[in-house]
Amino acid sequence: MKEPLAFAATCDLVSIVRGRSLPLSELLRSPYGVGWVPANLALTSFGPIAEPNSFSSLGDLRLIPDLSTEILLPPIANGISDGSPLHLFLCNQTLPDGSPWDCCTRTHAINAIKELKEKHNIEITAAFEHEFTLTGFANGAPFSLEKLRGAEPFGSDLWHNLEANGLEPENWLPEYGTGQFEITLRPKDALRAADNAILLREIVRDTARSHGMRASFVPLPRPDGIGNGVHVHISLSRDGKPITYDPKEPKNLSLIASKAVAGILKHAEALLAFTAPSQISALRLTPHRWSSGVIAIAEHNREALLRICPLVGNDEKNHIRAFNVEYRAADATANPWLIISLLIRSLTDGLDMNEAVGEILTGETEGLPGVRLLPTTLQDELVYLAKNEKVKSWFPPQLLATHIAIRESEARVLAGLTDAEKCERYANVY
Ligand code: GLU
Ligand code: MG
């Protein structure tokens, strides 16, 4: 068998996995990974680099693989493969001397995790749920066995590829929307959960490709269609012990977790500029879509930005371990490392503020007086971000400016298109 290839990858501000390929043995031998270009951070979803951007033709970086993130993508059965799998590694972006690059999205997550640990001695466990639209198979009714079986052998193969790579799939289901499926992974520590979210998307796309199908994580396939959400379940631990559950507190949410998630609610509008950052992301986040219709924390309600998830059974030990809060307003145009870093920075800020969330909503949220609605456009999300000095302070100015330049460039590229056409443009990329 020929020497297998490795792919050293990063995930950028538009959540595209990009990188370079080289012989596996060379990557493993090199203490300084492979070369990379700073201006790549300014690439938009549609190809060209955002203009203006603060990166010039100057400068160099290194992609340094984290060997623990390795996954194997099986050879694609299209007749041109030599039979070796591709070894994919997620990398930290560093300066040429190996020191951290402050615009590296993964380093951002690592730093946020470290700060929460140092300041409050708290670790985060997270689980990502992904929805996506599959084409190239015989669709069936929502949630039906027919739909599940119609997508075979893709589904079984996907499950196997996730398991073989240690991603621990939990549920695989034929979702509500046309061609829509959902795959969930078991909870992991925050960095691993974000790494795995990035890897999962590539495994899904790759498995579909190998079956002559296509999987798209576009946030909304059509303006009147069903959205593809990314939901992030989070829970807190201290010294290895879960601390999110407390049956003496309202809706079982411990005081410390309540104070932490208050930070997410406080900064919600500005966070959306990162967790729902495409020109069509806000179209998904409207009432009656079970995505996220109101900026509130609610018990068991899929219309809330933060949902307190239900407990099953009556085993107290299991409740302590499993109790979690779900952030529902992310999509796959958002970088999972940034989603995690922003949620964690918000939790840290909530703990610094030291004030529990106000009301935890129960029942329907429709028409409730005083509840905040989500911004209806990315433009509005960016205005909230511009006014939120706290959230802005979490980023080096160059990263923040690049994020905004990308969004403005994409708005210009899509100007004049209908919402349906915009959805299609994103569906072709994601
Ligand atoms: N499709 C919904 C979304 O856009 C989620 C529905 C569900 O709760 O599974 O987020
Ligand atoms: Mg779902």
pLDDT in tens, 410-423: 999 999 999 999 99
pLDDT at 377 exceeding the cut of 70: yes
Amino acid 403: pLDDT: 97
Q: What average pLDDT does range 151-176 have in this prediction? A: 97
Surrounding residues of ion ligand 2, Cβ less than 5 A: 182
For residues 2 and 262, give the distance between their C-alpha atoms in angstroms, rounded to a whole number. Answer: 54
For residues 169 and 185, give the distance between their C-alpha atoms in angstroms, rounded to a whole number. Answer: 4
**Residue 290: both structure tokens together:** 């079970």
Alpha carbon separation from 364 to 125, 229, 269 (Å, rounded): 29, 21, 22
pLDDT at 79 exceeding the cut of 60: no
How much of the chain, in percent, has pLDDT values that exceed 70?
Answer: 98
Q: What average pLDDT does range 281-298 have in this prediction? A: 92
Q: Which of 320, 315, 175, 186 is nearest to 242 (CA)?
A: 320
Q: What average pLDDT does range 287-299 have in this prediction? A: 90
Please give the distance, rounded to the nearest whole angstrom, from the Cα atom of residue 348 to the centre of ligand 2: 28
Amino acid 3: pLDDT: 86
Burial of 48 (0-12, 13-18, 19+ CB in 10 A): exposed
For residues 273 and 378, give the distance between their C-alpha atoms in angstroms, rounded to a whole number. Answer: 6
For residues 359 and 262, give the distance between their C-alpha atoms in angstroms, rounded to a whole number. Answer: 11
pLDDT at 320 exceeding the cut of 60: yes
- What confidence category does residue 82 fall into, taking pLDDT thresholds of 50, 70 and 90? low
pLDDT at 347 exceeding the cut of 70: yes
- What confidence category does residue 83 fall into, taking pLDDT thresholds of 50, 70 and 90? confident
Contact 147, 141 (CB under 8 A): yes
Amino acid 369: pLDDT: 78
Q: Which of 408, 415, 403, 404 is nearest to 108 (CA)?
A: 403
Please give the distance, rounded to the nearest whole angstrom, from the Cα atom of residue 226 to the centre of ligand 1: 8
Instruction: Give the range among 190-204, 240-254, 266-280, 360-374 with minimum mean pLDDT.
Output: 360-374
Contacts within 8 Å (CB) and 24+ apart, 67-71:
67/28, 69/195, 69/199, 71/165, 71/166, 71/167, 71/199, 71/203
Residue 226, ligand 1, Cβ within 6 A? yes
Alpha carbon separation from 202 to 104, 214, 398 (Å, rounded): 20, 12, 28
Residue 221, ligand 1, Cβ within 6 A? no
The structural domains of the chain, ordered by start, are: 108-429 (3.30.590.10)
The per-residue pLDDT of the chain, averaged, comes to: 95
Question: Which ranges of 300-377 would DSSP assign to H, the alpha helix?
Answer: 316-322, 336-353
